[in-house]
Amino acid sequence: MSTRFKRNKVILKRDQTCLVIIDVQEKILPVMFNPDSVITNILKLIKGFKILQIPIFFTEQYPKGLGPTVTQLLIELDGVQNIQKMSFSCFGAENLFEQFDNKKINQVVVCGIESHVCVQQTVLDLLANDFQVNVPADAISSRREIDYTIAINRMQKHGAEITTTESVLFELLEICGTDEFKQISKIVK
C-alpha cells in the first residue's frame, strides 16, 4: 500500500492500549440498569484483552462499604491486582495514570459503573491528560437510564470515542484469519 494512505489515529492499537474496569462491585451491581448485559460485555472485554495480551486494570470504590468486585469478573481477572480507591475518578487511584505512562499507553478503554459518576469523572480526567479514551456503551451502566444517557453524551462531547465491546475487540485484532481472531470470534458470538 502507498505511504500516502494512513489509518485513522483513533483506531485502537494493541501496543498502546489498556482496559480499565471501574467499580463493578457486589453491593452496587444489582441496582444498575441492565446489569446482566454489562457483566456479559465486560467479560468479553476481559477475555479478549487476555487473548491479545493487553494490560488490564480494575478498581474498587470503597470496598469496605461496597464489597469486592463481582465474582464472575474476579474469576476472569485472576492474577490482576485490584486498585482500591476512595476518589470517584481513577485519577485519585494510587498511581494508575503513571502506570499508563510507564507502559507507554495512550489509548484507554474504560468500562464499569456508574456511568455518570466514576466512569465519567475518570474519562474526563483521562481526556484532560491527553489520553484517547474509548467507552464501550454496552459495558457501562448507571442506576437510572437518564444518568447513563447524559453521561454518554457528555463524555462524547468532551472527546471520548463512544463504541461497543465488539468494535473494540475487532479494532485491536486488526486482521482476520489468525488464532486470536478465531478465539475472539467465539467470545463475541
Selecting among 18, 23, 90, 111, the annotated active-site residue is: 23
Selecting among 18, 44, 85, 90, the annotated active-site residue is: 85
Question: Closest by alpha carbon to 167, among 138, 127, 130?
Answer: 138
Question: Closest by alpha carbon to 44, among 134, 111, 98, 115?
Answer: 111
Name the 3-class secondary structure at 29: helix
Q: How far apart are alpha carbons 140 and 4 in whole angstroms? A: 38
Known catalytic residue at 111: no
Q: How far apart are alpha carbons 189 and 184 in whole angstroms? A: 9
Known catalytic residue at 118: yes
Selecting among 90, 118, 125, 138, the annotated active-site residue is: 118
Which residue in the block uniquely carries the three cell numbers 460485555?
41
Instruction: Catalogue the active-site residues.
Output: 23, 85, 118
